[in-house]
Amino acid sequence: MYIQTEALNKSFRRHEALHGVSLRVPEGAIYALIGANGAGKTTTIKALLNIIAPTSGRAEVLGVDSRRLSPREYAQIGYVSENQELPRRLTVRQYFEYLRPFYPTWDESLAGDLIAGFQLPVDTRIQDLSHGTRMKASLASALCYRPKLLVLDEPFSGLDPLVRDELMERLLQQAQDMTVLLSSHELDEIEGSVTHVGYLERCSRLRRREW
């Protein structure tokens, strides 16, 4: 399993954000984690990536306890979030150049193809991009180093349907050699593109479905 959790719990003082989440994401899957806003999708992802520590339970990513992820594992994980902070004053070109040394598997040819395919304005500052173009740049930068695991947290929220479809099409073109965990509150956005679905209920158990 590329991702595995057992009875994962997370509380913030008196607020219980996760309760007993057990998750299985097999290698090669495109796994959709579906739930209403506030159900705990982002909290689950942050626990998996060791951004926050779970209160109890266990999580493994790429066969490693999530609390012990090292630079070696992080270099194999791509991450794109609706609320991701990008360096706003850098141009798209400068942002890609900044990222490249951190990833030994960075593919410059693929980076060029993605920039051209998404029609990214390489000399425009990130702060001047539209929301849709920022999401294109974020996804492209995460695909350039061919990660083994790609984690997408509400990547299509607020996007024009045409932009959403373009992002999903490009993602599927690159997904043959990776495992994808995708969170969303709208199954209709991604229903025809995923292999597994888990429904996360607010502070409750995870219900799974495999297609």
| Whole-prediction pTM | 0.90
The three-point CA angle 131-51-111 to 5° equals 45
Report the pLDDT averaged over residues 69-74: 96
Q: How far is CA 165 from the centre of its chain?
A: 17
Q: Where are the alpha helices (DSSP H) in 49-194?
A: 71-74, 92-99, 108-117, 131-143, 161-174
What domains can you pick out in the chain, each with its CATH number?
Answer: 3-210 (3.40.50.300)
pLDDT digits (tens, 9 = 90+) for 94-108: 999 999 999 999 999
Cβ(66)–Cβ(48) under 8 Å?
yes
Cβ(195)–Cβ(29) under 8 Å?
yes
**Buried-state track 142-159, b at ≥16 Cβ within 10 A, e below 16:** bbbbbbbbbbbbbbbbeb
Residue 28 has pLDDT above 80, yes or no: yes
CA distance 165 to 173: 12
Cβ(49)–Cβ(8) under 8 Å?
no
Residue 189 has pLDDT above 90, yes or no: no
- 92-99 and 108-117 helices cross at what angle (nearest 10)? 150
Report the pLDDT averaged over residues 141-163: 91
